[in-house]
Structure 1
Amino acid sequence: MADVVVDATAAVRQPAFFATLILLLAVVPVVFLSGIGGAFARPVDLDGLVLDEVRRLRRAAPGLRIGTAGVSAAWRRADPRGLGRVVRNLGDNAARHARSEIAFDLAEQPDGRVVLGVEDDGPGVPPEDRERVFERFVRLDEARSRRSGDGGDADDAGGSGLGLAIVAELVAAHDGTATVTDGRLGGARFEVTLPPDPALRDPALRDPALQAPGPGAPRPGHRS
């Protein structure tokens, strides 16, 4: 029995144990309570989430050019904190790997899907790594990291390989998909697609009065 206790104690000292704990604390509540029908779900102003993240990145990395020309209005019933974490992790990932520029775009498609894109002008992600980059604890070659130390992703501080895994888990909890391809800036393009939400095709259901204060809630001048 003593040997078992020693082995268990040693296990919790391993970095992987703590990284797994971080992932569970960040994701498990949202997996069960978010999404269109979840207990945390409410109408969320997605472009508000994106533009909040842009402002944060501009403060954290003032030398980085951040484009928002492709950001348009989009709403979803969702957990605002879960989708806020998705936007933040993708923004931090792009800022960490960009040479000088990143860009956000957001649009609701004719079929009702919402597509969020985050691009950078860094070295990109090789085709053979584009699925496993969303797996837990995966870290690509150091050439993919240019700006570590610029106030990066709290979920991936020190390169734990959890930031994009958390993105994938949270997006899946909202019945969406997360992918990576080549971007127009020459680096990677991370893209999140959320399914249609027919209820929010009615503008009356987007009334700010339906929302509690928090990330994604409309605020006066939030697009300034």
Structure 2
Amino acid sequence: MIRRLLNTTVFRLSLVYALLFSLVAGAAMASIYWVAAGQIREQTDARLQLQSDLLINITKTYGSLQALQDAIQTRNEEHDDRAEPHFYVYALTTNTKLPFTKKLTAEYVSEDGRRVFGTLMFSDVLDIVNLDVEVKRDAYARVIITRLQGGAQLLVAADMSEQNTLLLKLYNSMWLAVGLMFLLAVLGGWLMGYGVLRRIDSIRQTAGEIINGDLSQRMVVTRRNDEFDRLSLVLNSMLQRIENLMKATREVTDNLAHDLRNPLNRLRNRLDTSRFQSMDVEHFQQLRQDALQDVDDLIKTFNALLSIAQAESGVHRDDWTSIQLDQLINDLGELYEAVAEEDGIRFSHTAQPGLVLQANKHLIAQVITNLLDNAVKYTPKDGLIQLQAEQQQSHIVITVSDTGPGIPPEERERVFKRFVRLDNARSTPGNGLGLSLVKAVADLHGAQVELADNQPGLKVILRFLA
């Protein structure tokens, strides 16, 4: 489990982000440290300059270096009386041949010519100035040297042990904070990886059950609405679609076996009759004609199934063109007007001029033909069939209506399934695939199919986006 957790992408990404965040945080804290250290140095330098100015003012007031020397001695003695280490150390040299600066390397020189020195041990400072005072000899000192008139030099040094201790604590605290942030990030990555691994295990377990044949299984969807839930919803929709297709395939197989059995049996019986019975030429010709009709019916059934399968798979999607729908309606209307007239049925067709539809022309013509075939088949003598095409707002609407028996409202969804034939249609020729093809082609084109009551009869409405 731990090995799998360490190998998860979430944990690895968390580790990378933890490293990057720690580096950025370390850089930010290092900047804070250097700013704080610089601020402390500036404040210390300001205090050293103030101490130097106070002593220099004594020289200016009394006009002699001896007064300055006495003031320095007094200050050093005052520190000795306190029985505590000196914070400031003062020294004055009038020996211009061996000034302090010959033994020290300046950190920088101020605008008024004062030399500032850092990172010096107090013991080194005392050796340079030859003083014996109580100080923290192992502490660092910050020194400012001011050159006076006549070549004399005034040295003022400050104990930096407290400031350095503060900076050290700040330094340690910063790195401790960076380390804690890194550990917390790793722990967070561990926990997130564990949560992701649990979700993936759940999906994998469900997928395994589906692979074993249980298509009713679905991915678990929580209330978090995270990416796993959204993925699970998509997978569940896909699984539902697959289950419906498998169920439809089983139904089609069952219906196909049932509906093909009768014509195949009739064909076999006719062939047996022609084989074992003697008959005249006229009888044989009729038998052959009936056998060919059975074969044609079988071919029509398979062609219809193939057309439905192609429409559902989107094979013809690349064959879309701009169809002059009004011209197509008029052509089909003229053709079926003659067919309806032979059966004593009235027929009318109208199409709004200039209608253009982006679609597969062959499939649209086949859909309208199927609907008109059904209308002619079920409309009684002296009935009326109407074919219309018009634009209604953002839709192009094709309507085929008849005055036949119609379809009950409770059956209007079921008739779109393959091989479904209502009781009043079983005595008429057909295979129950016409409306299935209409629905498949409509879905391919993103259209809506509606079956409505024509009072009397049936009205089929197709709505395409203009």
TM-score bucket (shorter structure)? 0.5 to 0.7
Aligned-partner Cα distance in 2 for 1:161–1:21: 12
Q: Considering only CA atoms, is the larger Rg found in Structure 1 or Structure 2?
A: 2
Report SS of the residue matched to 1:76: strand
Find the counterpart in structure 2 of residue 222 from structure 1.
none
Instruction: Please say if 1:118 is aligned against 2:400.
Output: yes
Find the counterpart in structure 2 of residue 188 from structure 1.
458
Which one of the candidate residues 384, 405, 421 is aligned to 1:101?
A: 384
How big is the shift at 1:20?
Answer: 6.5
Aligned-partner Cα distance in 2 for 1:166–1:188: 18
The answer (yes or no) to whether the contact 2:320–2:359 under 8 Å persists in 1 is yes
Matches within 5 A, 1:19-30: 21-30=302-311
The answer (yes or no) to whether the contact 2:385–2:400 under 8 Å persists in 1 is yes
Aligned-partner Cα distance in 1 for 2:448–2:256: 32
Find the counterpart in structure 2 of residue 48 from structure 1.
327
Write out per-residue CA displacement over residues 10-31 of structure 1, whole angstroms, 9 at most, x where no aligned residue: x987535967733332233344
Query: Number of paired residues?
Result: 169
The answer (yes or no) to whether the contact 1:49–1:87 under 8 Å persists in 2 is no
Find the counterpart in structure 2 of residue 90 from structure 1.
371
The answer (yes or no) to whether the contact 1:120–1:189 under 8 Å persists in 2 is yes
1:39–1:140 Cα change, 3 Å: same
The answer (yes or no) to whether the contact 1:68–1:104 under 8 Å persists in 2 is yes
Find the counterpart in structure 1 of residue 352 from structure 2.
72
Which one of the candidate residues 128, 134, 145 is aligned to 2:410?
A: 128
Which one of the candidate residues 30, 54, 57 is aligned to 2:336?
A: 57
Aligned-partner Cα distance in 1 for 2:308–2:433: 11
Provide TM-score, normalisation by structure 1: 0.67
Report SS of the residue matched to 2:431: coil
Counterpart of 2:414 in structure 1: which amino acid? R
How big is the shift at 1:117?
Answer: 0.7
Find the counterpart in structure 2 of residue 159 from structure 1.
430
Aligned-partner Cα distance in 1 for 2:320–2:447: 15
RMSD: 2.5
The answer (yes or no) to whether the contact 1:30–1:79 under 8 Å persists in 2 is no
Counterpart of 2:352 in structure 1: which amino acid? S
Report SS of the residue matched to 1:39: helix
1:121–1:41 Cα change, 3 Å: same
Percent identity of equivalent pairs: 28
The answer (yes or no) to whether the contact 1:33–1:39 under 8 Å persists in 2 is yes
Report SS of the residue matched to 1:166: helix
Aligned-partner Cα distance in 1 for 2:349–2:372: 12
Counterpart of 1:80 in structure 2: which amino acid? K
Indicate the structure whose relative CO is greater, using CA pairs within 8 Å and at least 6 residues apart.
1
1:28–1:178 Cα change, 3 Å: same
Counterpart of 1:127 in structure 2: which amino acid? P
Aligned-partner Cα distance in 1 for 2:315–2:409: 33
Whose helix fraction is larger, Structure 1's or Structure 2's?
2
Aligned-partner Cα distance in 1 for 2:414–2:426: 17
Instruction: Please say if 1:169 is aligned against 2:450.
Output: no
